[in-house]
Structure formats: C-alpha cells, structure tokens
Amino acid sequence: MERPPPLPQPRSGRPFAVAACFAFALVPLPPHEEGPGPLIAAGLLTLIIVMSSLLIPWRRLPSSAVALPPLAYFVVIALLRDAEGGAVSGYGLLVLLPVFWLALYGTRTQLSVALVMMVVMFALPIILFGEPRYPSSEWRRALMWAGLGPLIGFTVQRLVNEREQLVERLKLVARTDALTGIANRRAWDEELPRELERARRSGEPLAVAILDLDHFKSWKDSLGHQAGDQLLKEAAAAWRDLIRAPDFIARYGGEEFAVLLPRCPAGATRAIVERLRSSTPSDQTTSAGAACWDGSESPDELVGRADSALYEAKRAGRDRSVVADDAAAIVLDRRVP
C-alpha cells in the first residue's frame, strides 16, 4: 500500500493568528451585569496564541507542537460564547477555524482530537451550567457538530492528501525519463549543482562521467526502433545496478548517459567507468569520458571537460574511456583492469 506523503507544514502561524485576531475583534462588549471576566480571559489567551503563532518558527517544531495553538483556540471559543450570552451566541461557528487548520496541516490524530474537543466544548456547558444560558436543546447542536465536524474535517484532509500525492507524482514524473525509468536531464541539471556545492563545503572529491553507446543509430536502424529502445532500457538498468549508493545516473540525451560520482577520487573514477562500460548489454560497446572536479569550475565547465574526454575516446576508436585531468587525457581500453 502506497504511503501518503507528509502533509504540508505551514510556513508560519501568521494566517492562524490573523484569523484569531479578526474573530476576537468581532465580539461585542457583554452586558454589564455579566462582567468582563470571560472576555478578558479570552483576550489574554488569544494574545498568547497569536504571539506564539507569530514568533515561534513553526517549521522547526514537531508536528505535535504545531497543533497546540489551534487546539487551545477551542478554549477561546468557549469563553467567547460565554461572554456573548451562552447558547444564543453565534460564535460557535468559530470551531471551523481550528478544524480547517488541522485538516490542512495536522495529522489525522490531531484532527480527531480537535473534533472531540469541539463536541466537548458544546456539551460541557450544558452539563455544568444548564438553563437558561445553555438549555437542553443545545444537545441537538452538539450532535449536529458531532456529525458535521468529522465530515468536513476528514473530507478536507483527504483532499489535501490526494493533492500532495498528485504533486509528488508530478515531481517524480518531471524528473524521470519515461523510457528508461532513471533520472532525466532536468533532474541531472538540478542534482549536479547541489553535489558541487556539497563537495565545495566538505572538500571531498567529485567526478562526472558521460557514457555513449557506440554506433547506436546504425544499430537501431538495422534492428528497428523497438530494439533500440530495449537496448537503452537494458543499459540504464545494468548501469543503475552497478553504481554506488551515493552515485547518480541520468539519461543525458539520446544514447548518452551521465553519471555523478560524489566522494570519488580519480583512481576510483577510472575503475567505476570501466566497470560500467564492460557491463553494456547485447554485446554492444560504449565510449566514456570522465572528469574530476577541480574545486572551482562550474557545472557546465565540469560536464564540458567530461564531454570533451568522451569525444577524445570516440576519435581514438571508440570502445574505450578517457579520463581528463588538468595536464593530459588518460586513454583506457578494455584491456586495462
């Protein structure tokens, strides 16, 4: 069963804080005989929620902490209802604010807790205070929200999950070559700068190799397009299984494949490239060019040196590797171990 992607985390608590302030600003002053106690308490708690939502970096918090301000807002809603006259207050609809927020950004468990707190918020005053502020007819409202709340909350959360799954699939499709199933040129152009920056910070070596199936167009023309596609699939699968865990392989274009080799010194680069070439399927041959990063060149410059080494291998007769360095090109054929 496919696991759903994690729900999106809010960039900040600002939207929730603005909504909480707006809702509180709509509350009229209560009658004098009831006293300002519930309203003052609601105001103080709203201030705490707003300040925590604005000042705390939500992205760094665990998901359980992110749910605290919306859950605490149920207490604010209960105090606002009491300040406005109890059951006759129209502020019961504010329960949708934390429910929607946790449906969008919370887990299923957090949303379930919010729905339970919502029902308790409507039912508890009937038990504790009763008539006339909270008449027994309020049980119908509590039961109504007990039915509507889960329907609204879980429906929104399911839609959010489906959207996130679709976004993840689209990201995967956008970075995957449709024919071979490995990364495509777009993914390569994104991955190479990241690895160069990582190598720049760590000081570790990094190499790039370009592999090209020899005489692929002639081979495809003689055996047909389906055979050519099959060769590309088999080559991609064979090479993907041979590279190391941190390595990255992509279809660079046509019959060319690019391999990114992090933490790979020159000697290991040569061995890896030769191992890949020797595993070319269907008794076909491959030419390869490789270059080790000099610590300062750009992604285009590094790939350019590897590409130049590849063409040197082709000019030398194909079915061989050329590893470029700053001084010269080292030409290898299949007889080199």
Determine, yes or no, domain membership for 5.
no
Same domain? 197 vs 327:
yes
Same domain? 304 vs 196:
yes
Categorize the per-residue pLDDT at 1 as very low, low, confident or very high, splitting at 50, 70 and 90: very low
Same domain? 168 vs 239:
no
Domain hosting residue 281, numbered range: 185-333
Model pTM score:
0.64
Domain end point (choices 146, 174, 202): 174
CA nearest neighbour of 91 among 78, 101, 72? 78
Same domain? 163 vs 40:
yes
CATH number assigned to the domain comprising residue 256: 3.30.70.270
Same domain? 209 vs 132:
no
Determine, yes or no, domain membership for 8.
no
Same domain? 201 vs 306:
yes
Same domain? 211 vs 302:
yes
Identity of the amino acid at 68: L
Domain end point (choices 125, 151, 174): 174
Domain count along the chain:
2
Determine, yes or no, domain membership for 3.
no
Categorize the per-residue pLDDT at 177 as very low, low, confident or very high, splitting at 50, 70 and 90: very high
Determine, yes or no, domain membership for 7.
no
Q: Do residues 212 and 287 make contact, with C-beta atoms less than 8 angstroms apart?
A: yes
pLDDT surpassing 70 at residue 50: yes
Same domain? 20 vs 167:
yes
3-state helix, strand, coil in the chain (%, to 5): 60, 10, 25
Residues of the chain with pLDDT > 70: what percent?
85
Give catalytic status of residue 297 as yes or no: no
Same domain? 99 vs 194:
no
Torsion angle, CA of 186/188/194/198, rounded to 10 degrees?
180
Domain end point (choices 174, 204, 228): 174
Backbone angles phi, psi at 259, to 5 degrees: -125, 130
- Residue 46 has a pLDDT of 80
Catalytic residue, from 255, 256, 297, 301: name it.
255
pLDDT surpassing 80 at residue 3: no
